[in-house]
Structure 1
């Protein structure tokens, strides 16, 4: 066991990502690292793991401390390895020869099915690749564990299992998690680091409580800033008045006094803290509106697998304008197939029993962002898809956080978080009144998630949502439909499903 120490740590990547970070992370410290996309979370974790150098300050670790580090993605060079080979590759050759059982143990602990263990990683889903990454970080039995976005691509059952596993397996070692999953951070952490370009905020609280405390800190700082600026204005006004009197009367004493007031004003002004704002691109969605009361109606519609195997039936369901429907169900029950059927229906291939209002204008966003082309730049993509004009598209991209040089680079060079913001911007420009959202928060940072919540609630657009993000679905859902016993039934809320998944 031991500690990880940061002293005056900071990093620049063209601009300051974070600075002046000094803290000690010790045993039983479970730290959630929170910041917008591209603000240094991954850089910090890699530096703590010894895989990257910071621009400023230093990182020290207790003598002999070993660290398990889970990156966001499987390295491309490892995709041809089986899950077993990938996890085993973290062990030294001698250790693997004598203690190969470690690989089997961690596979069992994380409930990775036997039939998946000998398959190449490139054939596994993003969720199972994520579990293999966690297994590889833990198989060395490290003294500290660092996880970068561990819940991405995981379904709710896996997230709940991971929470329980971390509470047991990593309970006595330093644990550092970079994540945008607010509910997961509440369960898995007991400290929160809000990573910022200047003053860092580190609180001994899990995310929701820390965020409430941070809001109070920000409010108090803003009020103090206003008081300081008012005092500066008053001092300058007094100084100007004394200067005029001194000039008219020829009094050197008043001139000196005036200078003292100006100096005092300047001193206060240099100490006034700028109000901190998370610099992330936010995209505001809209609602083009509709007069129809019923946007979509199902009657005796069968949901099947692509090869025709029955999954469940919808006997009767009306989706009214303004409904925000959350689909609940275990993996394999048919959520994705229902979303596929609705998507096909919106493109003109509605099955018998499904009626769609002619006033419905759809907007679709899925977790893979597979429909987003990779070769054009964001600017070229939006200009060719929407008739908005160069100046407006450039301005919209800038508002979404894309600097001018970023607007002209291929989409494939962008992070997944940046691609998600571009997808939201395209969704806005489609001007829909009906949103079909499949895991829309997978790559969004917390400010982006909160903005999306506000937009969906305030704009009143009809929405069908599939998500594993508990905080997000509780924030926007007005109706909850659960797939159980091969039927789609309406339930009062998601809590019963959460309890069922945790059981």
Structure 2
């Protein structure tokens, strides 16, 4: 359906692609992977024609419709969320607009003389609208929005009043409702809660078109894709299978290439030693010459290109007392909505609680109460002896203002640390080389989140309270963070929609449901086994 042939592309002095080729065929669901800045979004933009390759070509079969979701959702206002979604549904939305215009024309007294043509055209357009199931469009739009966790009130409210994250969901819903022949989804799993993520996963599994997507959520990608295209050093390499298969295959290929490289290096060293030893002897001249010629003809094996991922050893956290948090009889409500009513909860040292619950169940409220970002209406929240609390929330990025660079901001926070460990810390969170000279105020949301997280873990508290810590982290940084937190000896309380993160780090689950609060010993994996659901109310 889409062919990428010998494409080369540079972006402001940076080479992204060198004679790269790949194909997207009918029914394929492909995960596009590669480090940040490798050119994933550029590839999407070249497929849609928003950008042109410098050389080579990208061709799309005639008549193939493409729906493209990216993080830049643009302006949305003046319509309800459901109208906004319907407006993006491709041909059917254009026909709906013409139907509305014809209906207005039929009651316009100034157009009586055209009435026969208007009625005839109305009949044709109505027939086509029915053919495309136009009358079912609104109910399908509402179904998609409900899957993405919209309430009826939000569906019918002004889309302009929604936050950036919810507008992102509206933009995603437009593409899903359109059901094009090819979907290009750039990070569709960002900004989604676990329930919406699982709904989207099932939707995409049942989608019969071709799919090319990026995602920083390995579990999500694993369950959907049947092929991986990797961007590596300017070329595109295809692997048949899911993300896990690709990881294993890539490691195996690297191992084989390394072994080949080492064998060849040993052989070359042996040959060069012989040449060096006998080059001055006339009796061996012919042999030396033939070996020199042989070496010139040998195709050299390159060592495998290893992804640059920086591991970082975080300092051990100081020990806290055994009782980390004690919540007694807490009541909390917003307006008429009661979030907690007589809530009791105790967190002990080294417990790692993940909090599960649908939108509005009170997950973030609990974190805010513990971090003193909110006060209970009644009841007490007591933090234990020697507890040093670190709180990461989406608004934590507000501290990054002014004209300081990344390195200066870190030096200001840790004046005794010295540049080398701070550069290593920056590298572990994806700020390599000159990135540390970027001004904090120009950083993207994702970069700010990574920097705040890095600073928190450089001088680790013994109690981490994390609200969606992986929202803006790429796969490699997320993996590094998981490894660091697995050896962290403090206590954790966190909310996350990343199932790999939940499974790797939790040893307790607190589930908030309308029927009450449930506690589970054992981590997220045991919770799924015990309840048969990956999120409250959703059976896996």
Shorter-normalised TM-score: what interval?
Answer: 0.7 to 0.9
1:124 aligns with 2:136: no
Corresponding position of 1:97: 98
Corresponding position of 1:436: 465
Q: Distance in 1 between matches of 2:319 and 2:26?
A: 59
Residues 263 and 121 of structure 1, relative CA distance in 2, 3 Å threshold? farther
Corresponding position of 2:347: 318
Is the Cα contact below 8 Å between 2:324 and 2:347 reproduced in 1?
Answer: yes
Corresponding position of 2:426: 397
Q: Distance in 1 between matches of 2:264 and 2:173?
A: 52
Secondary structure of the equivalent of 2:272? helix
Corresponding position of 2:172: 134
Cα deviation code 1:18-44 (max 9, x no counterpart): 444322211110111122222221111
Is the Cα contact below 8 Å between 1:312 and 1:488 reproduced in 2?
Answer: no
Q: Distance in 1 between matches of 2:396 and 2:290?
A: 61
Q: 2:199 aligns with which of 140, 157, 161?
A: 161
Pairing of 1:66-215 with structure 2 (within 5 A): 66-75=65-74, 77-78=75-76, 82-90=80-88, 91=90, 94-95=94-95, 96-98=97-99, 104-110=138-144, 111=146, 112-168=150-206, 170-171=207-208, 173-215=209-251
1:160 is displaced (CA, Å) by 1.3
Q: 1:336 aligns with which of 342, 364, 368?
A: 364
Secondary structure of the equivalent of 1:370? helix
Residues 404 and 36 of structure 1, relative CA distance in 2, 3 Å threshold? closer
Q: 1:365 aligns with which of 392, 406, 409?
A: 392
Q: Distance in 1 between matches of 2:521 and 2:50?
A: 48
Q: Distance in 1 between matches of 2:300 and 2:172?
A: 45
Is the Cα contact below 8 Å between 2:349 and 2:490 reproduced in 1?
Answer: no
1:432 is displaced (CA, Å) by 2.2
Is the Cα contact below 8 Å between 2:358 and 2:536 reproduced in 1?
Answer: no
1:387 aligns with 2:402: no
1:401 is displaced (CA, Å) by 3.8
Cα deviation code 1:290-327 (max 9, x no counterpart): 34451513252425245583425543423223x22211
Q: Distance in 2 between matches of 1:439 and 1:237?
A: 58
1:122 is displaced (CA, Å) by 4.4
TM-score by length of 2: 0.81
Residues 264 and 467 of structure 1, relative CA distance in 2, 3 Å threshold? farther
Corresponding position of 1:48: 47
Is the Cα contact below 8 Å between 2:332 and 2:338 reproduced in 1?
Answer: yes
Is the Cα contact below 8 Å between 1:283 and 1:400 reproduced in 2?
Answer: no
Is the Cα contact below 8 Å between 2:188 and 2:215 reproduced in 1?
Answer: yes
Cα deviation code 1:313-348 (max 9, x no counterpart): 543423223x22211122221111111111118x99
Cα deviation code 1:128-180 (max 9, x no counterpart): 32321122224444221111111111111111111222223x22x11111111
Q: Distance in 2 between matches of 1:143 and 1:104?
A: 21
1:494 aligns with 2:532: no
Pairing of 1:213-224 with structure 2 (within 5 A): 213-224=249-260
Is the Cα contact below 8 Å between 2:357 and 2:536 reproduced in 1?
Answer: no
Q: Distance in 1 between matches of 2:16 and 2:174?
A: 29
Q: Which moved more, 1:175-184 or 1:475-484?
A: 475-484
* Consecutive unaligned residues in structure 1, runs of 5 or more: none
Residues 362 and 242 of structure 1, relative CA distance in 2, 3 Å threshold? farther
Is the Cα contact below 8 Å between 1:286 and 1:432 reproduced in 2?
Answer: no
Residues 157 and 409 of structure 1, relative CA distance in 2, 3 Å threshold? same
Residues 299 and 133 of structure 1, relative CA distance in 2, 3 Å threshold? closer
Corresponding position of 2:443: 414
Q: 2:511 aligns with which of 470, 473, 482?
A: 482
Q: Distance in 1 between matches of 2:331 and 2:245?
A: 42
Q: In the comparison of the two structures, how many residue pairs are matched?
A: 488
Secondary structure of the equivalent of 1:309? strand
Q: Distance in 2 between matches of 1:397 and 1:158?
A: 32
Residues 56 and 369 of structure 1, relative CA distance in 2, 3 Å threshold? farther
TM-score by length of 1: 0.86
Root-mean-square deviation (CA, aligned residues, Å) is: 3.1
Is the Cα contact below 8 Å between 1:420 and 1:443 reproduced in 2?
Answer: yes
Secondary structure of the equivalent of 1:52? coil
